[in-house]
Structure 1
Amino acid sequence: METGISRRGLFGAGAAAAAILAGAPATARAASGLTLRWWGNNGWEVRIGPKTILIDPWPTRFKTGTYTSAGADPRTPLSVNRELIDGYLDRGLLRADHILVTHGHYDHLTDVPYLAQRTGATVLGTETHLSLMAALGAPEDQLAIATGGEDLTFDGYSIRVLRALHSATGTRARVAFPGTRTLSRRDRPRVIADLLEGGTLAYQVSGGGASVLDFGGSNYVESELAGLRPDVVLVPPGGAKVTEYVPRLLRALGNPRYVAATHWDDFDLPLGRAHDPNGGLEVLRKAVAAASPGSEFVVLDHLGEFTP
């Protein structure tokens, strides 16, 4: 089953959301108190009552050449579009109590230090992620280290941190911009190659009667998933080097009710232009349908919302 949910009101195409549920029974379902909004790439907003948790927010989306034949230029300077971010914050379209960082690459971490400054949010990440963010100006008293295994309870929601793996690509199954750095380092990252992967985490956020599990890359540690039964799992396309990437994942999670696509768009393009550059979305849709036909496949437009 597939759900396509589009909300384009912020981009001039009307304020109403369109929902298409293909092949699903026309039965009423009680909505949970958890709502997801997609900010492009692996950027997610999880709202639970008055609380907001952001995962890998990156509204700036500067050009790197990632989806060209040459690939991302490692010398691309880092930049933060503060005017754009301020506009979202000042209009109440963006806020955060927590910000969760899955890994240190530019398309996941670059905007987080400024968002932490503006929102006062607590930021979770590995030692490398926190080192990079502190060097980029994140308030250090808001940074909380995570290694995987943490199960944390807050006012109205909980966060479970899982050890995970980054996507592996190419004939040698290599990780882009690998490496780590210590918290004691304070040299400022200047180009995208300076933002090291630094270990990868996955997060399950629960509250409002529902839970969502996010992977920032197309790989995972299967043993970490034992006993997890999220209502929604956010899955990136890819995983060609991972044995039974989609079937094994969904089987380990008990075939979740919803599988939502993440990290599938061309992030050289600005928000409002969600484009699948290499057909990965269709490959993922077919893989989910084959592996777990009872799961609903959810695809959102930029700033689209979904309540499980």
Structure 2
Amino acid sequence: MRTVRFILYALCASALVGIGALVFMLKSHPTVEFPQPLQQKSANGVRTLFLGTSSMAWTDGQTTWLVDGFFSRQPLSKVALTRLNVDNSQVRAVAAAMFKRLNMPSVLGGIVVAHSHYDHSMDAPFLAKEYGAKVVGSESTSQIAKGQDLPSTQIEVLQGGGQVKFGEFEVRLIQSAHAPTGFTGGFNTKPVFLPAHALQFKEGISYSFVVSHPGLGPGPFALIQPSAGFVEGQNKGFSVKHVFLGMGGLGKLSHAYIENYWREMVLVPGATHVYLIHWDDFTQPLMKQGEPLALKPMPKLLDDFPRSLELLKMFSERDGVSLHVLNSWEMVYF
């Protein structure tokens, strides 16, 4: 009996040590040396404010629109152990700070959703209700919007891609791919009612966004790749100067994959400026007690941002492309 009890105690102790080690690794963030903030330009004209993951607020001083707008950023314990809901007060606080920094009224012309995982799609219907926007994305994203009772007049499905206009902005949705991780695939075929577990938010279709504005010339000027995936040849036929490059999960992929990703997303469209997005731990908040917070990289157990950053630095130097890691609340002017 003593032997059995000893074995049970040993197994329990081992399990506790393992859980403790796992928690430690999930809370250990690599150290990243950030470059100097981008040089400020005129507050007028086209600009975008980075808000963690692939959330970005774009404006030209007349119209404001969002990519994703994921501001709830629930802590890891909630993501792993509970069903999720929109953190209304946090989303409102971030949105208020966002409009203030953009020096724009609290109105959104639209929200394009990169794909239907919770860290891209969950807050979009709430923001659309609050600020009068239309949610644009896949059928899977529309099911998330329906689950939050967003009126059908504020939902636009562009399943295989297409174009949408927000004021003078024109945004083209190109069907792309998610980074090849264990969380890809699946479709939401019925409304996703909140609260819902993170795994209930299926990917659906992943998009790239190509942005044009007549104030910056006749062709597109920016490509946004929210996820670190690609479809070969997806960017042929157009060129852009600026690329916002998603990094989530990239550090765990092969050198060859990362170099092919760089080629497809940066070299094919001929970009000269690259800004890194979706590199951060989205279980960390954007604000605390009303004050903005800097971002932290994903824990090394889930990603290896220092590795992927080092490779992209090498490619950028080789190809004569400027590279900048965007931190939260950082503005890019065009």
Q: Using structure 2 for the length normalisation, give the TM-score.
A: 0.73
Residue identity opposite 1:145 in structure 2: V
**Which region of structure 1 is more displaced relative to structure 2, 270-279 or 29-38?**
29-38
Residue identity opposite 1:258 in structure 2: H
**Equivalent of residue 274 in structure 1, options 286, 295, 298:** 295
Residue identity opposite 1:306 in structure 2: V
Displacement of 1:261 after TM fit? Answer: 0.3
- Report what 1:166 is aligned to: 178
Displacement of 1:228 after TM fit? Answer: 2.2
Structure 1: runs of 5 or more not aligned: 7-17, 21-28, 67-71
Alignment partners' CA distance in 2, 1:288 and 1:228: 24
Contact 1:114–1:137 (Cα < 8 Å) also in 2: no
Alignment partners' CA distance in 2, 1:49 and 1:148: 30
- Residue 186 and residue 79 in structure 1: after superposition, are their counterparts in 2 closer, same or farther (change >3 A)? closer
User: Do structure 1's residue 145 and structure 2's residue 161 form an aligned pair?
Assistant: no
- Report what 1:85 is aligned to: 91
- Report what 1:129 is aligned to: 141
Displacement of 1:131 after TM fit? Answer: 1.0
Displacement of 1:90 after TM fit? Answer: 4.8
Structure (1 or 2) with the greater helix fraction: 2
Residue identity opposite 1:197 in structure 2: E
Residue identity opposite 1:136 in structure 2: Q
Decide which structure has the larger Cα Rg and report it. Answer: 2
What secondary structure, in the 3-state scheme, does the structure 2 residue paired with 1:108 have? helix
- Report what 2:235 is aligned to: 225
Deviations, residues 87-109 of structure 1 (Å, cap 9, x unaligned):
34456436421101011111111
Higher relative contact order (CA 8 A, sep 6+): 1
Paired-residue identity, %: 23
User: Do structure 1's residue 253 and structure 2's residue 269 form an aligned pair?
Assistant: yes
Alignment partners' CA distance in 1, 2:243 and 2:160: 18
Alignment RMSD (CA, Å) = 2.8
Displacement of 1:188 after TM fit? Answer: 1.5
- Report what 1:24 is aligned to: none
Alignment partners' CA distance in 1, 2:92 and 2:163: 32
Alignment partners' CA distance in 1, 2:53 and 2:261: 19
Alignment partners' CA distance in 1, 2:323 and 2:310: 7
Question: Any residues of structure 2 matched to 1:45-194 within 5 Å, and which?
Answer: 45-64=57-76, 73=80, 75-90=81-96, 92-93=99-100, 95-169=107-181, 174=182, 176=183, 178-182=185-189, 185-186=190-191, 188-189=193-194, 190-194=196-200
Deviations, residues 249-299 of structure 1 (Å, cap 9, x unaligned):
322111x12100010011111111301234415623542542553221122
